[in-house]
Chains A and B, each alone.
Chain A
């Protein structure tokens, strides 16, 4: 094989680890976390990344060492075949199994927070209905209930209040979609025929992405919405404005000349 080849193989772990060391400080890393529970997700991500990183580097290092040490040009000792090592096999079965079991237990609390401990006695803040290729939104009107005549309908432009528990009722009109809020570390499939609760608490205001993360058809790439996180006061104000627009019986004066959001 030649020693040059061994070095080429060594490049894989060196470049691989180097890329990950370089990326965070150059803008290629997780989007800014603005959720209350997000640190748990990020922590698990980092933990698993380091764990697999160490295994990756060790495996690649071993591969390099074998290539180097047993290069045919310098190593003239004939190959000896062996049946296998019982001890080694026990070790490399039990070690990964124990690691996986540990991760399975270690992540349970994060999973429960995001998927199981639904906030109690809370009406949905908004109903999000995914559809090829847009997000249809329905907010409860002044009566606080969904499915009544004062519901407020909107599309693609999701507003939520900051520093408050938000409960999204997620549905799909046609096929599988996925409600993905990268900054809130929320990713949940929308399944036709199911109404799935999604909850989170945002910790900062601003506008962020809402994207579809499940290939849902040819227009999947354009199924993009905008998430606006704002103070309770301005959220209420926005909602009241949308509600008033929806009950309009006359053309609003401003809308006729210039209304394009």
Chain B
């Protein structure tokens, strides 16, 4: 063996040893920073400080003296906001809840902190092999650590995963402006949302589902509190009283109260008109068909005369939900996810995101879908009803009959508008 070959071999051995040592040392000493909740204020900031992204305005550089003052003021506001939300809610690894908003069995309101700790934190089990860190195990890749619907897989999904921080939930049993009930969120977890990327978690044990629901509520309340405080600081230019009472009374308690009130705000429809015989059902469907084309209802405007969800096709004005409507082409970089157009539901697919029971569809028509242009047609506070409960039931029957009716050969009695539309397609 030549000397060169021998030294090569020695070099290789050394390199291997060094690599091994590095791997061992690296494996032992690498400390990953604990995750943080992400600031929740893109849209607020957009209005408050027009051209600055959150990162941009943390840097004070060589701008004009007057601008510099503004910037410093904004940085101070940001710090206040962070301090207050962390004080009230803790961090992802160590959630916290003020005692005043923890579950109070007498008043039936507040959040169950025990369930929250079960769902929060890193994935793993405790000594008793109880599963912990459920949110990060099952939800975080789409909904994100903050519950902002911007996890790593979110950008690939249509629709984007729900951003809980507005406190707006689409599929629920309560009125348009109400929060969902605990049972609603549970149902969403168990049934999943067909037509979206939200899968069913039906096989998880009941206590895990309950823990996850409680954690979703926690993230939503956290996000909404932070958002309202950001609005006060940046938009209304208000001072926030940085005391426990200030946060509680001004921001946190009202939101927790709304969640508690939702449990009492469940929409309970009147008895459905008799549809047990085929004749009765057919006449109810026919009634519903007329209502579907009713001018006041404007169903066809979005869902289209055939119910294919194409009413808005080719229109200059696109539809967006509240999570997307504020995004503009020139500031997309500041948003976590690209702007996404909203598609009205195709009623002929037989896929119902909020559930396919007559009860679910009644509630959709009655209360509308918050965050989207779908209005509620039933009587609601401060709004005249479009339809009576009986009329809504007819609409339910019509909508539920659509998947089983051939769109290109409309049943007899269908209005000429729909017939004409299906011909022109």
Contact = CB atoms under 8 A, between A and B. Distances in A.
Binding between chains A and B? yes
Interface of A: 132-134, 136, 147-149, 153, 155-157, 218-219, 222, 224-226, 245-251, 255-256, 259-261
Interface stretch (B73-81, B85-93, B192-200): B192-200
A153 B266 CA distance: 24
A249 B358 contact: yes
Contacts of B192: 134, 155
A248 B357 contact: yes
Q: When A and B form their complex, which 5 residue pairs have the shortest distance between CB atoms, in order from nearest?
A: A260-B206, A155-B200, A134-B199, A249-B272, A248-B357
Chain A contact residues: over half helix, strand or loop, or mixed? loop
B202 interface: yes
Contacts of B173: 251
Given A247-B358, A249-B269, A156 B186 contact: no
B142 to A, nearest CB: 10
B299 interface: no
A250 B209 CA distance: 24
Nearest to B207: A260
A225 B153 CA distance: 23
9 contacts: A133-B199, A148-B404, A149-B404, A155-B191, A218-B141, A219-B199, A246-B357, A251-B173, A256-B183
A248 B153 contact: no
Interface string B167-198: 00000010000000001001000111010010
A155 B190 CA distance: 9
A148 B405 CA distance: 10
Contacts of A248: 357-359
Contacts of A261: 190, 202, 206
B364 interface: no
A157 B138 CA distance: 19
Contacts of A155: 191-192, 194, 200, 202
B401 interface: yes
A156 B202 contact: yes
B203 A255 contact: no
A259 B202 CA distance: 11
B289 to A, nearest CB: 15
Given A149-B401, A218-B153, A156 B359 contact: no
B241 to A, nearest CB: 39
A251 B186 CA distance: 14
B362 interface: yes
Contacts of B203: 156-157, 224-226
A260 B357 contact: no
B400 interface: yes
A250 B202 contact: no
Contacts of A136: 194
Contact of B400 (A132, A149, A153, A226): A149
Interface in B348-366: 356-359, 362
